[in-house]
Chains A and B, each alone.
Chain A
């Protein structure tokens, strides 16, 4: 006979748990709207946070390029072609042995190669070139609007050289060129992605909401575009740019080319989500509540999309940057006098250059790699956080 047993207590009200660390009070989660929840989830991903800061940093560098760069990108000093980077130091040893704080870089000593009678410069630790913050340097037009000549970092004596990252084959400061190049490369990504955004969201939304013939047609077009290998297409379009166009026009056309093939991913994502959301109960409920089609799209469906769109857009950015870099590297994208990372890389194309002056490859390549990495981590983090309700 089975014994009848029971617990002589009132029923419990919730599952038994032992807290591990102080969690957030449930009251503020209840009132948290979508963006707060997305932020909570996103901020748990430390890597994505760091990447976000890095991207922000690059954007600021691009924004204040004129102020931050020690020199003008076009200023060339033929005596200093292919000069190696100068090391930044903080303390100077006085003749009597004491240390003095003086921001400086090591200077160059000139050597003449007896065989080829060529002048080369080697870093000379004895030479001290004082540098300072907020120095007066070469004049520039800030954002093309107003004149200034203040630089964040530069040599205190005019005429001295400060090449923290070395120079290129024409004796131009690589660091300044890199900083100015940041502006162009980062902005192409952003402008390009805006164009893709508009195209992708509109076409994806129309395709996903109405379905039917419109959808099939758009899908076919997307299929055609996305089955083409991108680089040959870009090459084809870029090579068609007339050589007579001004650098600014070329800039815009390159942006356009690069974004023409980038919208397909966004459109697919938007369409997919639209399809998924169209069948959701709360959308049916909204229609039955009397909402017009427009209201359903804008008030009910689109808010569910924005975080996803943000994630996809962030992931599409690095493709644009790499595309522009690749095209300029091959010589058919941006050209001098515009400076971008790709243009910088173009000048470092052959093995001999790399062997003799590796800094010309390392710094622009490093900038590209760090930016692309950062965007990828950021986009990944956004994508993971995009749907805070899925669990």
Chain B
């Protein structure tokens, strides 16, 4: 028996080799899916085969366009109108006669009984995945009444019971609430309750936690695992996050453009990947223990402060009562102070609602702070940013630039790349005509794009390339500070690492400091020197990246760090996390 670290007692002993296929509940054999588009036929899935076993989790991994979601939906014969199953079988073998789901008729009773009754589905966006105009209770009751012979009262009681099983507090009251009254995590729990209402044998979870915070993600995955164990269900989990895969999967299937490029146990995939794409995925997965930033030499001079924020606060929705007393509705940012040193990368980490985005906007004054001060030491002279006139703010905006999250929305689709990147130069009157062209070409090369493409429009580029264009635009005026607001959140995993490396390279060549705002702690650890952790508007902890990520001091930070899934199946962290209650 190989030695195992003491903190991972849940590694199951290897199953007996002769088990064969007793516990297979669903067998997908050579499944192929085609979609008729306007000018072509898209082969979304080609010759896909795998088996789901009772009590085990199979993770389907891939990036966008890999065909994982359509495959999962096809397992319940849910296919768009322009799609069709061109080949293969989907054998449901759990109880009773084996059924080939691929052959079932769309309107037949058999298929309706399978959906929800034997296979349950939960997926990504709980806000749009649940009907906004019906109560949670009615939706669960409907699922119950479809597959169980229950009258209204019994169904309602069972629904309340289910809500309790998924750990929703006050289930008797929540059962009559509407979807929008629930938070993100609670909605996902309700969705799980609905999917499990008829006690299916198989649960398909399509990116169930991608839209959730790290801590909520940990709790939901925890819940799903526990429910799976107690009910003996097979689970198919679809995700692009290798950390989640390592923490949760027993078996892994890697899909790339519709084909399965690698298939094995989770240990095999992580420790002995054979296909180049798998290896690429694993390499791009940034680990919490890892950083590309070199530690500053011990004898380096004390870094000088380039931006100082003191007691920044932003309050929304103040109402003034008759007596002059103000009651604040929401404190988005609450008394935050920090320094940014020249040449350093400061990360601001937080979950949704922590105020990190608002903080970034306040530094640029696209959102006006309610109180506090921001001082910029560009060329040594301190500048009070909050007191600047509009004209002087333009100068400030030349030195402190912003990279946006969404590469598709941040570039004007009606302007060529040359116009986009050159706009700041034109407006500042710095260059025109041939000089402008030269400068734009220079910038494009700097970010790794072919300057010959500058007459094209943004729609001709991929997401990663557009983000590079955005970076080129930010660099156009030789800024001192760049604020990156979730700059990699909308990119695929393999592109993410490229962009981060690009930014680090550029930083080596130019004199730049970064403020990197993100919800993804691993990315922040990879990129930043110091990290500030925000929670509900307050700055909870600020320190060197290594210390924050490996030995955090504050309880909230500890709960946050411990909830980050670790892409190493032999060292699972998430399931042993500490919990933080406000």
Contact between A and B in the complex (any CB pair below 8 Å): yes
A interface with B by C-beta (< 8 Å): 1-7, 10-12, 14-21, 23, 26, 29-34, 280-282, 284-291, 295, 300, 303-304, 389
Contact of A18 among B40, B272, B398, B411 (CB under 8 A): B40
- B264 and A5 within 8 A (CB): yes
Q: Which residue in A1, A16, A33 is a CB contact (below 8 Å) of B43? A: A16
Q: List 7 A-B pairs, minimum CB-CB distance, nearest first.
A: A30-B460, A4-B264, A281-B410, A6-B262, A289-B424, A16-B43, A11-B277
5 more A-B residue pairs beyond the given contacts A4-B274, A11-B275, with a C-beta to C-beta distance below 8 A = A5-B263, A7-B260, A17-B42, A285-B402, A286-B412
Q: Do residues A2 and B275 form an inter-chain contact, with CB atoms below 8 A? A: no
Q: Are B17 and A15 in contact (CB under 8 A)?
A: no
From B56, which residue of chain A is reached at the shortest CB distance?
A2
Question: Does B15 count as interface, using CB distance less than 8 angstroms?
Answer: yes
Contacts of B366 in A (CB 8 A): 284, 287-288
Contact B260 A1 (CB under 8 A): no
B16-38 vs A, Cβ < 8 Å mask (1 yes, 0 no) = 01000000000000000000111
Most buried by A among B36, B37, B261, B416: B261
Alpha-carbon distance between A182 and B272 when the two chains are bound, in angstroms: 79
Contacting residues of chain B (157-210) with chain A, CB-CB under 8 angstroms: none
Cβ-neighbour of B41 out of A3, A5, A6, A20 (below 8 A): A20
Q: List 5 A-B pairs, Cβ < 8 Å.
A: A1-B265, A11-B261, A17-B40, A30-B457, A281-B410
A331 to chain B, nearest CB (A): 49
Q: Name the A residues within 8 Å of B556 (CB-CB).
A: none
Query: CB of B251 within 8 A of chain A?
Result: yes
The residue in B257, B276, B401, B413 that gathers the most chain A C-beta atoms within 10 A of its C-beta is B413
Q: How far is the CA of A32 from the CA of B39 in the complex (A)?
A: 19
Instruction: Report the separation of the CA atoms of residues A282 and B401 in the bound assembly, to the nearest whole angstrom.
Output: 14
Q: Could you say which of B38, B43, B258, B410 contacts A285, with CB atoms under 8 Å apart?
A: B410
User: Which of A7, A18, A23, A281 touches B261 (beta carbons < 8 Å)?
Assistant: A7
On whether the beta carbons of B39 and A20 are closer than 8 Å, the reply is yes
A18 touches B39 (CB 8 A): no
Complex Cα–Cα for A17 and B257 (A): 10
B263 close to A289 (CB less than 8 A): no
Interfacial chain A residues near B256, Cβ < 8 Å: 11-12
CB distance from A343 to the nearest CB of B (A): 45
A290 to B429, CA, bound (A): 10
Shortest distance from the beta carbon of B21 to any chain A beta carbon, whole Å: 12
Complex Cα distance, B264 from A4, in Å, reads 4
Please tell me if B325 contacts chain A, counting CB pairs below 8 Å. Answer: no
Q: Which residues of A contact B264 (CB under 8 A)?
A: 2-6
Asked if A23 contacts B39 (CB within 8 A), the reply is: yes
Q: How far is the CA of A389 from the CA of B459 in the complex (A)?
A: 8
Is there an interface contact between A282 and B411, defined as CB atoms closer than 8 Å?
yes
Report if A288-B401 is in contact (Cβ < 8 Å); known contacts: A6-B278, A16-B43, A281-B409: yes
Known A4-B263, A7-B261; judge A286-B423 contact (CB<8 A).
yes
B269 to chain A minimum Cβ distance, whole angstroms, is 8
What's the least CB distance linking A344 to chain B, in Å?
45
Residue-wise interface mask of B (383-412) relative to A, using a CB-CB cutoff of 8 A (1 in contact, 0 not) = 000000000001001100110111001111
Name the B residues within 8 Å of A34 (CB-CB).
413-414
Which residues of B have CB within 8 Å of A7? 259-262, 275
Q: Are B42 and A15 in contact (CB-based, < 8 A)? A: yes
B13 interface hit (Cβ, 8 Å): no
Please state if B274 and A290 are interface contacts (CB–CB under 8 Å): no
Closest to A34 in B: B414
Contacts A11-B256, A288-B366 given; indicate if A33 touches B414 (C-beta within 8 A): yes
The docked-state distance in angstroms from the alpha carbon of A303 to that of B457 is 14
Q: A291 and B261 in contact (CB under 8 A), knowing A12-B256, A17-B43?
A: no
Chain A's closest residue to B39 (CB) is A23
B328 in the interface (beta carbon within 8 A):
no
Q: Per-residue 0/1 for B29-70: is the Cβ within 8 Å of any A Cβ (1 yes, 0 no)?
A: 000000011111111101000000000000000000100000
- Counting chain B CB atoms within 10 Å of each CB, the highest count among A11, A26, A288, A303 belongs to A288
**Closest residue of B by beta carbon distance from A301:** B412
B314 contacts the other chain (CB 8 A) = no
- Cβ–Cβ contact B275 & A6, under 8 A: yes
Q: How far is the CA of A50 from the CA of B539 in the complex (A)?
A: 63
Q: Which residues on the A side are within 8 Å of B402 (C-beta)?
A: 284-285, 288
With contacts A16-B258, A285-B404 taken as known, whether A291 is within 8 angstroms of B427 at the C-beta atoms is yes
Q: Residues of B contacting A21 with CB < 8 Å?
A: 39
Q: Are A16 and B275 in contact (CB under 8 A)?
A: no
Q: How far is the CB of A26 from chain B (nearest CB, A)?
A: 8
Whether A6 contacts B398 by the Cβ 8 Å rule is: no
CA distance A121 to B261 in the complex (A): 87
Is B455's CB within 8 Å of the partner chain A? yes
| Measured CA separation A356–B398 after assembly (Å) | 79
Chain B residues in 8 Å Cβ range of A3: 263-264
A282 and chain B: residue at smallest CB distance: B412
Q: Cβ of B449 < 8 Å from any Cβ of A?
A: no
In angstroms, Cα B43 to Cα A300, docked, is: 39
Closest CB in chain A relative to B494 CB, distance in Å: 10
Partner of A289, one of B262, B268, B404, B423: B423
Which residues of A are found within 8 Å of B411, using beta-carbon distances?
282, 285
Q: How far apart sit A1 and B455, CA to CA, in the bound complex (Å)?
A: 55
CA distance A280 to B405 in the complex (A): 12
Min CB distance, A251 to chain B, in Å?
A: 39
A11 — nearest CB in chain B belongs to which residue? Answer: B277
Q: How far is the CA of A12 from the CA of B366 in the complex (A)?
A: 43
Chain B residues, CB < 8 A from A1: 14-15, 17, 265
Verify A289–B473 contact, CB threshold 8 A. yes
* Nearest-Cβ distance from residue A248 to partner chain B, whole angstroms: 42
In the complex with contacts A5-B263, A15-B65, A291-B423, A31-B455 CB distance below 8 A? yes
B272 and chain A: residue at smallest CB distance: A4
Q: Are B397's CB and A288's CB within 8 A?
A: yes
Once bound together, how far apart are the Cα atoms of A31 and B418, in whole Å?
A: 12
The smallest beta-carbon distance between A31 and chain B, in angstroms, is 6
- Name which residue of chain B comes closest to A292, CB basis: B427
Complex CA–CA separation, A383 to B14 (angstroms): 62
In the complex, what's the smallest C-beta–C-beta distance from B167 to chain A, in angstroms? 32
Q: Please report the C-alpha to C-alpha distance between residue A14 and residue B66 in the assembled complex, in whole angstroms.
A: 10
Residue pair A300, B412 in contact (C-beta under 8 Å): yes
- Known A4-B263, A281-B404, A286-B423; judge A19-B40 contact (CB<8 A): yes
A134 to B427, CA, bound (A): 60
Question: Which residues on A sit within 8 Å (CB–CB) of B416?
Answer: 33
Q: How far in angstroms is the closest Cβ of chain B from A41?
A: 11
Chain A residue nearest in CB terms to B403: A285
Q: Complex: how many Å from CA A16 to CA B40?
A: 10
Q: How far is the CA of A136 from the CA of B424 in the complex (A)?
A: 65
Q: B349-360 interface mask toward A, CB cutoff 8 Å, 1 = contact, 0 = none?
A: 000000000000
Chain B residue with the shortest CB-CB distance to A44:
B38
Contact indicator A282/B262 (Cβ below 8 Å): no
Chain A neighbourhood of B40, CB < 8 A: 17-20, 23
Q: Which of B243-265 contact A (CB under 8 A)?
A: 250-251, 256-265
Residue of A nearest to B397 (CB): A288
A4 near B265 with CB under 8 A, answer: yes
Question: Chain B contacts of A17 at CB under 8 A?
Answer: 37, 40-43
Which of A20, A23, A33 touches B457 (beta carbons < 8 Å)? A33
Shortest Cβ distance from residue B574 to the other chain A in the assembled complex, whole angstroms: 22
B364 at interface, CB cutoff 8 A: yes
Residues of B within 8 A of A16 (CB): 42-43, 46, 257-258
For chain B residues 266-287, which have a beta carbon within 8 Å of chain A? 268-269, 272, 274-278, 280
Check if A282 sits within 8 Å of B276, measured CB to CB.
Answer: no
